[in-house]
């Protein structure tokens, strides 16, 4: 594990590197997730081309410290990722963001186009207002979330984990070790995405991919589907659209091998 101290946040951001040779691929995880837990099973699949993976924990998640700044936004998290890449002297990276990591990847691409040569969004947030999950988190005050809502969520995840649900177990292990206030702030940041972000990403000309979970396309009433961009709108703007069969928003958490096979062409130089 490597780290970089950020004085403006009085915090260390931390990351892991996997692999040697080939293009640099930056992996940005979902809300509150450690990047290694989110992506390692995908990033090490033999079906992928030779790549150098950098798996970065956003501030407040995984091994990275929480920022001392209040109200840390998605743009702030994007600047943190930029600081890591500048520190490592990497330019023109392939950047893959999942869920909240997709929003960070999108902001990074807008703010520092020199750092991103390909953008892969795995059900990444581009729309303001948040998905049903994040909306439910911030539907109550922070104190109620800390005292009641989060413990209830964790209890439900624990039941799923005890019944053998690996995705529930991973989310439990991620959120159960977080500062509840930081998780709440992350959800609030996703709801407060800049309204212009989607159009800005649609206007880009660099190679872009968007990965959907099949059930979020076939069933528009599923929990996450209402916050996903319109696939036809993405396609018209030049995105390559790919669909991972048999899953919803869980994507690589449920099927890392299938996800790796789907994104392999996007990571091929």
- Supply 147's token pair: 């005292």
Asked whether 56 and 15 are in contact (CB, 8 A), the reply is yes
Q: What is the DSSP letter of 147?
A: I
Asked whether 95 and 166 are in contact (CB, 8 A), the reply is no
Nearest Cα neighbor of 180 from 132, 148, 135, 139 is 148
Give the integer Cα–Cα distance in Å for 228 and 129: 11
Give the integer Cα–Cα distance in Å for 244 and 187: 25
Where does residue 176 rank: exposed (0-12), middle (13-18), buried (19+ CB within 10 A)?
middle
- The per-residue pLDDT string of the chain (269 residues; one tens digit each, 9 = 90 and over) reads 999 999 999 999 999 999 988 999 999 999 999 999 999 999 999 999 999 999 999 999 999 999 998 889 999 999 999 999 999 999 999 999 999 999 999 999 999 999 999 999 999 999 998 888 899 999 999 999 999 999 999 999 999 999 999 999 999 999 999 999 999 999 999 999 999 999 999 999 999 999 999 988 876 555 455 678 999 999 999 999 999 999 999 999 999 999 999 999 999 99
Half-sphere exposure of 265 (CA within 13 A, CB side): 9
CA angle 193, 11, 3 (to 5 degrees): 100
According to the model, what pLDDT value does residue 146 have?
95
Q: E strand or H helix at 134, and its extent?
A: helix 132-137
Cβ neighbours for 232, distance < 8 A, ≥ 6 positions apart: none
Asked whether 29 and 39 are in contact (CB, 8 A), the reply is yes
Where does residue 51 rank: exposed (0-12), middle (13-18), buried (19+ CB within 10 A)?
buried
Cβ neighbours for 110, distance < 8 A, ≥ 6 positions apart: 197, 200, 201
- Supply 174's token pair: 């991620």
pTM: 0.96
- Antiparallel, parallel or unpaired: β 116-122 and 208-213: parallel
């Amino acid at each position: 594990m490597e780290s970089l101290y950020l004085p403006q946040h009085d915090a260390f951001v931390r990351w892991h590197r996997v692999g040697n040779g080939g293009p640099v691929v930056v992996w940005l995880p979902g809300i509150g997730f450690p990047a290694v837990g989110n992506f390692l099973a995908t990033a090490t699949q033999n079906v992928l081309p030779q790549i150098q993976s950098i798996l970065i924990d956003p501030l407040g998640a995984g091994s990275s410290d929480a920022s001392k700044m209040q109200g840390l936004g998605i743009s702030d998290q994007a600047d943190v990722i930029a600081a890591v890449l500048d520190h490592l002297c990497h330019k023109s990276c392939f950047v893959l963001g999942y869920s909240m990591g997709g929003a960070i990847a999108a902001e990074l691409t807008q703010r520092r186009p020199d750092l991103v040569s390909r953008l892969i969004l795995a059900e990444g947030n581009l729309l303001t207002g948040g998905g049903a999950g994040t909306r439910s988190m911030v539907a109550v005050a922070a104190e109620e979330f800390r005292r009641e809502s989060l413990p209830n969520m964790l209890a439900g995840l624990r039941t799923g984990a005890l019944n053998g649900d690996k995705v529930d177990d991973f989310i439990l292990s991620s959120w159960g070790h977080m500062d509840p206030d930081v998780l709440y702030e992350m959800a609030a940041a996703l709801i407060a995405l800049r309204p212009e972000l989607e159009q800005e990403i649609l206007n880009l000309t660099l190679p872009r991919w968007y990965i959907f979970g099949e059930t979020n396309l076939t069933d528009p009433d599923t929990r996450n589907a209402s916050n996903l961009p319109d696939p036809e709108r993405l396609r018209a703007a030049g995105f390559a659209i790919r669909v991972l069969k048999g899953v919803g928003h869980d994507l690589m958490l449920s099927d890392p091998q299938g996800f790796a096979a789907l994104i392999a062409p996007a990571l091929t130089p």
